[in-house]
Amino acid sequence: MAAFASMRLRSALGSLLGVLGLMTPIMAGAATPPVWAEEFDSTAVPQAPDPARWRFETGNGPADLPGWGNRELQYYTGRSTNLFVQDGLLHIRAVVNDPDRPAGPGPTSARLMSRPGVLPRFGLFEVRAKLPCGRGAWPAIWMLGEQGHWPARGEIDIAEWAGASFSENEMQIALHDQWRFGGQARVARFPLPAACGAFHTYRLLKSRSDIRVSVDAPAGKWRIIGRPGKGEAGSWPYDQPFQMILNVAVGGDLGGPLPPEGPAGFELLVDYVRVYPCPQGKRCDL
């Protein structure tokens, strides 16, 4: 979801993740309590996300990065119209034609980011969520390094779906850094029935040695990105603390133009975000 995201498609899947396949089973927090968790518990009354844990970004991008670098159409707000917690779910709602949009009528949405220092540096990150479908929708669950500028700070796309670019039965994961970003990022799409429009459990195992990502696979079927050799030492910014971002973009390079008779909006639902210690005695910090 960072700048130049449209370049991802130009590499015919970019550099496919280094190793794909079955590894030693790693149970995803089945019996171990999380070290950090956001359950988005609430009553039937809509509430704002916990301000001690989350902040939201507003606007249509910085002055030097209009449209958030991807020609996106939405204006992000912190209003309850676009962002609220209710009935045990986080709702991020894009309104396609919002008459109260601060920059004039058009799409509004929300972009929620965890506060610096809230999340552990390493561990097993787990998010259960339902991404919206539809041309023009561009929802994502992703992370950015806390230090530096993109792409050197590092980006991990845990789950990304785009209405003009993917079928409804495939998902994309990607890593971006100062050596490999845009069309050269480590990118892979993989089949996933009802990738949008249904709840799935997304998992990221973040360690010094590699990054592992899976969907609905608690027994350890991972897509694995190994730490590069000494020649590319600068291309591994993933040891630093990262922040999580949950958002729904509208339009843009991957979301595509909205159809003339498009939907009234798109909604990302998040059941929980949990972080577990590294499983089965694996040392993530070595």
In the chain, the DSSP E strands lie at: 19-22, 36-38, 54-57, 75-76, 83-86, 89-98, 106-109, 111-114, 123-130, 137-145, 155-160, 170-176, 186-191, 199-206, 210-215, 221-226, 242-250, 265-276
Alpha-carbon span 268 to 202, nearest angstrom:
14
What is the C-alpha radius of gyration for the chain, rounded to an integer number of angstroms? 18
Assess whether 160 carries a catalytic annotation: yes
Residue 248 has which token pair?
């729904």
From the list 38, 72, 126, 160, the catalytic residue is: 160
155 has catalytic annotation: yes
Rounded CA separation 256/12 (Å):
18
Give the list of residues 6+ apart from residue 117 with CB closer than 8 angstroms, or none: 146, 241
Tokens read off for 48: 């704002």
The span from the CA of 208 to the CA of 232, in Å, is 15
How many CA atoms are closer than 13 Å to the CA of 15, on its beta-carbon side? 15
- Name the catalytic one among 38, 126, 155, 267: 155
Q: CA torsion 270→277→224→219, rounded to 10°?
A: -80
Catalytic residues: 155, 160
